[in-house]
């Protein structure tokens, strides 16, 4: 074999590995839609996504497949987690970049690395044995709740929000800060009126990405939210249980018979896929425009 053919073959092989990810994404879409789309069309996207009742094995009468309560559940818990995680994470990021002495910086960075590594099922277990009883005893209700899900997801989102926001804050030019301090502003005024506004888009990207991750999270949420496929009543009651889209798939795949029921779970997967894809696309758009503005 000549040198040149050898080089060409290797390049082809490397190209093939590079294309693998694209092929997998395409296969995922093909199989998800192959299994779920016929049902979606048959049942109606509208009735599926906005239907209020999920009752796939109706003993008497027609089974119904409405996932609106689960869409609400997923969004509710993800939004709740951000309400908790963003202020804390942002505070931590500002502290990390602007205030922390070196030892505290090292400690927090190590801590974030550890927190990222904790498997979601372990966090869910922690929520199940500690958080759920705590909520039940102190706030009342069932314990398995929107609140529990939001807290656990907030813990999962925290390290990502801290590290992306810290990067955005680090990227603010030093001259902005010095100018503000030279004008007599205190350190806090500089952080609030100069640094945070300048880092705004990076932080926004972190928040949107966090939302996408939270909606896609499965195990941790599944173990603490109670999983009842109905809307909370009243809607603002964070102590009510809910079921998320991800939990719907995991719980029912076990016993869903082939046919409408199983296809409805794949259709749930399609809805989940689309929601997360939209959030990720927005987040990338924000980050990209930020990078271009930086240039």
Partner 1 sequence: MSAAVRTRIFSPDTTDRVASLLLWASAIATVLILLSIIGTIVYRGIGVIDISFLLDSPRMSGAEGGIFPAIVGTLCLVAVAILTAGPVGVGAAVYLTEYAPDNGVTHMITFGVECLAGIPSIVIGLFGYAFLVVYLGFGFSILSGGLALMFMILPWTVRASEEAIKTVSGDLKEGSVALGATKWQTIRQVVLPSALPGITTGVILGTGKAIGETAVIMYTAGSSLLLPESIFEPVRALPYHLYILASEGISDDMAYGSAAVLLGMVLLINFTAVTIQRYYQARSGLRH
Closest CB 137 distance from partner 1, rounded Å? 17
- Cβ proximity of 191 and 180 under 8 Å: no
Closest CB 197 distance from partner 1, rounded Å? 13
Task: Pick the stretch among 49-57, 135-143, 155-163, 194-202 that binds partner 1 (CB under 8 A).
Answer: 155-163
Closest CB 4 distance from partner 1, rounded Å? 9
Question: Does residue 113 touch partner 1 according to CB under 8 A?
Answer: yes
Q: Site map for partner 1, 252-281, x if CB under 8 A? A: -x-----------xx--x--xx--xx--x-
CA–CA gap between residue 293 and residue 295 (Å, rounded): 5
Count of residues touching partner 1 (by CB under 8 A): 85
Touching partner 1, residues 189-248 (CB under 8 A): 189, 191-193, 212, 215-219, 222-223, 246
Write the CB contacts of 62 (distance below 8 Å, at least 6 apart in sequence): none
Residue 121: how many CA atoms within 13 Å on its side-chain side? 0
Exposure string over 171-182, b if 16+ CB within 10 A, otherwise e: ebeeeebeebee
Residue 28: how many CA atoms within 13 Å on its side-chain side? 10
Touching partner 1, residues 90-109 (CB under 8 A): 91-92, 94-96, 98-100, 104, 107-108
Touching partner 1, residues 43-82 (CB under 8 A): none
Closest CB 52 distance from partner 1, rounded Å? 23
Quote the crossing angle between the two packed helices 200-216 and 68-94, to the nearest 10°. 140
């Amino acid at each position: 074999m000549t040198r040149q053919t050898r080089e060409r073959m290797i390049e082809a092989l490397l190209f093939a590995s590079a294309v693998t990810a694209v092929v997998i994404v395409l296969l995922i879409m093909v199989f998800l839609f192959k299994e779920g789309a016929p049902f979606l069309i048959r049942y109606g996207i509208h009735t599926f996504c906005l239907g209020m009742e999920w009752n796939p094995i109706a003993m008497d009468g027609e089974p119904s497949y409405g996932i609106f309560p689960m869409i609400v559940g997923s969004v509710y818990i993800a939004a709740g987690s951000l309400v908790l995680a963003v202020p804390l994470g942002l505070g931590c990021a500002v502290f990390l970049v602007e205030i922390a002495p070196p030892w505290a910086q090292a400690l927090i960075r190590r801590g974030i690395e550890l927190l990222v590594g904790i498997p979601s099922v372990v966090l869910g277990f922690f929520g199940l044995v500690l958080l759920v009883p705590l909520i039940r005893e102190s706030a009342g209700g069932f314990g398995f709740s929107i609140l529990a899900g939001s807290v656990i997801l907030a813990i999962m989102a925290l390290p990502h929000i801290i590290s992306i926001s810290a990067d955005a804050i680090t990227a603010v030019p030093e001259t902005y800060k010095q100018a503000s301090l030279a004008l007599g502003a205190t350190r806090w005024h500089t952080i609030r009126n100069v640094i945070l506004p300048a880092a705004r888009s990076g932080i926004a990207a972190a928040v949107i990405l966090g939302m996408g991750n939270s909606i896609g999270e499965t195990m941790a949420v599944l173990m603490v939210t109670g999983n009842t496929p109905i809307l909370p009543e009243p809607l603002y009651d964070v102590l009510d249980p809910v079921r998320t889209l991800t939990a719907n798939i995991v719980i029912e795949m076990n016993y869903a018979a082939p046919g409408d029921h199983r296809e409805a779970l794949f259709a749930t997967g399609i809805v989940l896929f689309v929601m997360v894809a939209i959030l990720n696309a927005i987040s990338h758009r924000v980050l990209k425009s930020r990078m271009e503005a930086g240039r």
